[in-house]
């Protein structure tokens, strides 16, 4: 049952990825402007242009080009970036860790903030505390990450300048890292001086990304908790003499968390999508920032590679959440 | 009914505040040439980075100060509202027409139609939306119609997903079965019975989408990929403000407040309208 569900999901995932590859390929090929012409110095001969077109496979039909590109992608060859003249996969892997770190830190913040306010709101239901949480989460949800980023830049970059508003790490620092996961590696190496510097750069973009998600978690989890809190087994726990906080943490939370979990998966992909502009806003050297440069430079192979990696990330997250849901939901587990 | 009156009274201030701000901003945008105290494009290096009116060094006639080229911020903001509202209305309506139609078909007919539409939605959802928008505008070429088209191409899925789910729920209701027994055709039922019942959601989403379109346009202007003319846009002003943030904070603060109020108003207005039109709540 579980395996069958997994295989079906895996298959739809491949269909989705193939669809993304087709769409991005078609979109890019209708772009006006010849990338080859931009690569060559003025005065290049027609023979030069033709040679370069052949080198990038641009002299073949669009269907041929697609399958040449796709067979490369399947073998891990995403082509060569036109603007940076480097292997696309290498460039992407170099930048992806920075984006993943930012997204994971933001997710942890969102779960912590959303979870805490949900539990608090459910415990204090019907009071001014709950009303205050509702208003705060309503505002956090309606204002998108781009605007939160600008608000944070004004508050903590200019008004009270305690955090850095641009870059990933202070440039003068000597970095001992062997991976691109600077933040996680600094923790493992116990170099907390570097962790602090990285965090000072990461905190504001992470908060900007986390706030809308925290609001969704808070609203949904509070709703589920309030529903569960009226059920018999919870009432029984209360009769047994547990305090309201204990009742929520020990009895209600486990059963109320499931609907939230499903939603967090989809919302986490939205959060990762948000890194594109938030990284730009904070000049954070991640994948999204590189993607915008790639679009501006009309670097077709790089754009294709980045979009595909984002899509892969999204479908993998959805697959993981789906499987977790199936594992945790008793009805599906024994189905 | 007492209940309805309570709901209506509680919702009213929200509807009025949000609607009031939107109306004010819209009127300012429409009558921008009459209201603007200065030419929004006029540069004057003698007047660069003037602060807003309550600070020392402010000039009368430049209420919200000027940017680093000496252009009047207030005039630029109300002229920028023109682009924002055109994009909001055109892109949201286009996305709504495509998304709601496909959602209605997928949800009501089910079967193959649903499978194909849902698969396309899945593919669309695997794109990071901001990157998709930037890519589309880069491909279509900058300009107002490209921005509108890009937003519609990306955001129709928002309507499709919600309307599909609601239409699916409605089509299982007794009244749909009754209409079928009474001999109505399937398209007739879809348009006459199902559509009116999902309309409150469409209205709410439409208003929400207008706010999203305003943000996307601002993001595109921010990365300098929007309308490509000298006309001021809110995102363009924000991009200038981000650069001169330490010298002239007001160039960032005022467009930011304008954007936040507009986005909040669109979403609150939509929610309030939905509550008003919802047959269950009403």
What is the mean predicted confidence (pLDDT) over A221-245?
A: 82
**Contact by Cβ (8 Å): A206, A109:** yes
- Band of pLDDT at residue B1, cut at 50, 70 and 90: very low
Q: Please give the DSSP secondary-structure letter assigned to residue A250.
A: I
Q: Which of B125, B129, B256 sits opposite A150 (nearest CB)?
A: B256
Asked if the Cβ–Cβ distance from B123 to A23 is below 8 Å, we say yes
3-state SS, one letter per residue, for A255-285: HHHHHHHHHHHHHHHHHHHHHHHHHHHCCCC
Which residues lie below 8 Å from residue A160, measured CB to CB, with a gap of 6+? Answer: none
Q: Could you state, in order of their start, the residue ranges of all structural domains in chain B?
A: 65-277
Cα dihedral B136, B107, A318, A309 in deg (nearest 10)? -20
3-state SS, one letter per residue, for B50-83: CCCCCCCCCCCCCCCCECCCCCEHHHHHHHHHHH
The predicted model scores a pTM of 0.88
Q: Which residue in A17, A307, A265, A5 sits closest to B122, CA to CA?
A: A17
Write out pLDDT tens, residues B52-104.
878 777 777 777 888 878 788 899 999 999 999 999 999 999 999 999 999 99
Burial of B31 (0-12, 13-18, 19+ CB in 10 A): exposed
d(C-alpha B217, C-alpha B219), whole Å = 5
What is the mean predicted confidence (pLDDT) over A115-125?
A: 90
**What's the confidence (pLDDT) of residue B211?**
94
Give the mean pLDDT of chain B: 86
Q: Please give the DSSP secondary-structure letter assigned to residue A87.
A: B
Which residues lie below 8 Å from residue A3, measured CB to CB, with a gap of 6+? Answer: none
**Contact by Cβ (8 Å): A280, A235:** no
Indicate the CATH number of B65-277 among 2.60.40.10, 3.30.70.3280, 1.10.3720.10, 1.10.390.10.
1.10.3720.10
**What's the confidence (pLDDT) of residue B280?**
59
Q: Which residue in B113, B277, B136 sits closest to B216, CA to CA?
A: B136
Exposure class string for A206-236: b at 16+ Cβ within 10 A, else e:
bbbbbbbbbbbbbbbbbbbbbebbeeeebee
Secondary structure (3-state) at A52 = helix
Q: Which of B123, B211, B267 sits opposite A19 (nearest CB)?
A: B123
Asked if the Cβ–Cβ distance from B263 to A17 is below 8 Å, we say no
Percent above pLDDT 70 for chain B:
93
Write out pLDDT tens, residues B172-209.
888 887 888 887 888 888 888 888 888 888 999 999 99
**What's the confidence (pLDDT) of residue B156?**
95
Neighboring chain A residues of B128 at a CB cutoff of 8 Å: 272-273, 275-276, 288, 291, 307, 310, 314
Q: B-side interface with A, Cβ within 8 Å?
A: 119-120, 122-123, 125-132, 134-136, 138-139, 141, 211-212, 215, 218-219, 222-223, 225, 238, 242, 245-246, 249, 252-253, 256, 259-260, 263-264, 267-268
Q: How far is B273 from chain A (nearest CA, A)?
A: 16
C-alpha triplet A115, A211, B164: angle, nearest 5°: 85
**Pairwise pLDDT comparison (A173 vs B107), residue with the higher score:** B107
**What's the confidence (pLDDT) of residue A335?**
45
Closest-CA residue of chain B to A31: B139
Residue A284 has pLDDT above 90, yes or no: yes
Asked if the Cβ–Cβ distance from A269 to B223 is below 8 Å, we say no
Q: Which residue in B178, B191, B199 sits closest to B108, CA to CA?
A: B191
d(C-alpha A92, C-alpha A120), whole Å = 41
Helical segments of chain B, H only: 2-30, 32-35, 73-109, 111-125, 129-140, 144-171, 174-181, 186-189, 195-222, 234-243, 250-277
Residue B274 has pLDDT above 50, yes or no: yes
Which of A8, A102, A289, A295 should be substituted to probe chain B, the one whose Cβ sees the most B Cβ atoms within 10 Å?
A295
Please give the C-alpha separations between residue A313 and each of A148, A179, A273, in angstroms, as whole numbers: 24, 19, 10
Whether ipTM > 0.90 holds is: no
**What's the confidence (pLDDT) of residue B11?**
55
Residue A20 has pLDDT above 80, yes or no: yes
Q: Which residue in B12, B40, B6, B1 sits closest to B273, CA to CA?
A: B12
Percent above pLDDT 90 for chain A:
35
Q: How far is B45 from chain A (nearest CA, A)?
A: 25
């Amino acid at each position: 049952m579980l395996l069958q569900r997994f295989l079906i999901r895996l298959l739809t995932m491949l269909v989705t990825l193939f669809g993304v590859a087709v769409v991005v390929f078609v979109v890019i090929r209708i772009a006006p402007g010849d990338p080859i012409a931009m690569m060559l110095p003025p005065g290049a001969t027609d023979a030069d242009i033709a040679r370069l077109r052949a080198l990038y496979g641009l002299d073949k039909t669009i269907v041929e080009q697609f399958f040449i590109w796709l067979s490369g992608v399947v073998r891990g060859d995403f082509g060569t970036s036109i603007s940076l003249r480097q292997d696309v996969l290498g460039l992407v892997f170099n930048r992806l860790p920075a984006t993943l770190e930012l997204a994971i830190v933001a997710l942890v913040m969102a779960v912590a903030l959303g979870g805490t306010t949900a539990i608090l709101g459910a415990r204090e239901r019907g009071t001014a505390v709950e009303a205050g949480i509702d208003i705060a989460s309503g505002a956090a949800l309606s204002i998108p990450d781009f605007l939160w980023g600008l608000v944070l830049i004004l508050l903590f970059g200019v008004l009270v300048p305690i955090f850095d508003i641009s870059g990933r790490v202070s440039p003068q620092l000597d970095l001992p890292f062997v991976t691109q996961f600077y933040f996680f590696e600094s923790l493992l190496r116990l170099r907390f001086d570097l962790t602090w510097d990285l965090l000072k750069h990461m905190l504001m973009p992470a908060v900007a990304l986390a706030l809308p998600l925290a609001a969704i978690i808070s609203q949904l989890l509070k709703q589920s908790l309030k529903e569960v809190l009226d059920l018999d087994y919870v009432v029984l726990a209360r009769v047994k003499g547990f305090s309201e906080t204990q009742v929520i943490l020990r009895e209600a939370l486990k059963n109320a968390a499931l609907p939230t979990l499903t939603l967090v998966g989809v919302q986490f992909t939205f959060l990762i999508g948000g890194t594109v502009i938030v990284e730009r806003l904070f000049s954070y050297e991640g994948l999204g920032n590189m993607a915008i440069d790639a679009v501006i430079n009309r670097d077709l192979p790089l754009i294709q590679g980045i979009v595909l990696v984002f899509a892969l990330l999204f479908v993998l997250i959805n697959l993981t959440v789906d499987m977790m849901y199936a594992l945790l939901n008793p009805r599906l587990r024994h189905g | 009914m007492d209940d309805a009156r309570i709901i209506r009274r509680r919702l009213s201030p929200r509807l009025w505040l949000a609607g009031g701000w939107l109306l004010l901003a819209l009127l300012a945008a429409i009558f921008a040439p009459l209201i603007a105290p200065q030419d929004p494009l006029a540069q004057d290096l003698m007047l660069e980075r003037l602060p807003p009116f309550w600070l020392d060094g402010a000039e009368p006639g430049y209420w919200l100060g000027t940017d680093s080229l000496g252009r009047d911020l207030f005039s630029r903001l109300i002229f920028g509202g023109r682009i924002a509202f055109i994009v909001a209305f055109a892109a949201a309506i286009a996305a709504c027409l495509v998304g709601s139609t496909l959602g209605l078909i997928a949800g009501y007919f089910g079967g193959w139609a649903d499978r194909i539409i849902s698969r396309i939605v899945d593919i669309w959802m695997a794109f990071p939306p901001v990157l998709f928008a930037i890519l589309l505008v880069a491909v279509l070429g900058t300009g107002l119609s490209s921005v509108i088209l890009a937003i519609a191409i990306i955001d129709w899925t928002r309507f499709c997903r919600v309307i599909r789910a609601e239409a699916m729920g409605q089509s299982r209701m007794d009244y749909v079965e009754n209409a079928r027994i009474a001999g109505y055709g399937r398209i007739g039922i879809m348009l006459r019975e199902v559509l009116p019942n999902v309309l409150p959601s469409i209205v709410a989403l439409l208003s929400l989408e207008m706010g999203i379109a305003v943000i996307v346009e601002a993001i595109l202007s921010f990365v300098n990929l929007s309308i490509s003319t000298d006309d001021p846009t809110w995102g363009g002003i924000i991009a200038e403000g981000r650069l001169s943030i330490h010298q002239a904070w007001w160039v960032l603060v005022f467009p930011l407040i304008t954007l936040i109020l507009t986005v909040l108003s669109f979403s609150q207005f939509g929610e309030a309208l939905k509550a008003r039109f919802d047959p269950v709540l009403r």
